[in-house]
Amino acid sequence: MTDKQLKLTSTITGGIANAAMAGVKLYIGLFANSVSILSDSINNFSDMFGFAGATAGVGIGDKKPTEKFPYGFGRIEYIVSFLISVIILVVGGVFFYESLERVFYHPPITFSWIHFGVLAATVVVKFLLFLFFNHIDKKSSSPIIKVEKIDSILDTAVTAMTLLSFAIAPYTSVPVDGIVGLIISGVIIVMGCKTIAFNFTELMGKREDETIDKIKTLLKDFVDKEDILDVKVFNYGSGNVFAAVTLKKGDTDAIKEKAEKTLGIKLTIELRR
């Protein structure tokens, strides 16, 4: 499968799975009067819309470069990932407030073993999604996949905690539902902040130290270390990485060919004797 096919397969699969889980959790949360389950449901809904946006982002991001945009549209993925992160952060804030109310005012929870079993199944589904995204992430450099991989493993833990509180809440006067809702909301807020920071630095054009090291390692197959004067990397998104290299000497054509073949990076080389 091509990189685009991998990304589209992962985003569509994630969107469908999260839509199904969101609907199920929304029904159970309303039936059980549980703010923690409703928080988890809204979290899945935000993931669903995020995947929809990610699918659109992948489609646009892999468009061929144009005269107006000669470096392609790869950075659209960072923009979409940033928007997903903002959605996550807002959802976390709203339900943190709702959960805080439930700590002080906690109506009874309606427990059902059938609902418990269905929620348990969603824990398994979320963990399988994490394994799926982890597998895709090894084959694709998409920031969207990285975000959703982290989101899936966190959601697995969140839903497991929700499941535990659902089982305990009817048998205790402690506002377990509200407390777990606060924890879930806190996790969502932290995750949102981290992914916003990650995508912001990518959009601003952070220094690509790892890529620079890879290029320098490749260059050492052709020239001595002291012949490497400068390496600058310009990352325009997945599949659109360019580098400007300044050398004292070297076979420029051979270096360019190997860099594009092994690293997928287009080099511009200046010889400065």
First to last CA, the chain: 44
Please give the pLDDT value at position 106. Answer: 74
Specify the pLDDT at position 238.
Answer: 63
Whole-model pTM? 0.66
Residue 61 confidence (pLDDT): 64
Q: What pLDDT, on the 0 to 100 scale, is given for residue 206? A: 78
Residue 141 is predicted with a pLDDT of 67
Asked if 107 and 235 touch (Cβ cutoff 8 Å), the reply is no
User: Count of residues for the chain?
Assistant: 273
User: pLDDT 10s digit of each residue in the chain, 273 long?
Assistant: 676 777 788 888 989 999 999 999 999 999 988 888 888 888 888 788 778 777 776 677 667 777 787 777 777 777 877 887 787 788 788 888 888 888 888 778 888 899 999 999 999 999 999 999 888 888 776 667 777 788 888 888 888 888 888 888 888 888 888 888 888 788 778 878 887 888 888 788 778 888 899 999 999 888 888 888 899 988 877 667 888 999 988 888 899 888 888 888 888 888 887
Q: So what's the pLDDT on residue 239?
A: 63
pLDDT number for residue 225: 86
CB atoms within 10 A of CB 95: 26
Tokens of 76: 């659209």
pLDDT attached to residue 26:
92
Q: What is the pLDDT of residue 62?
A: 65
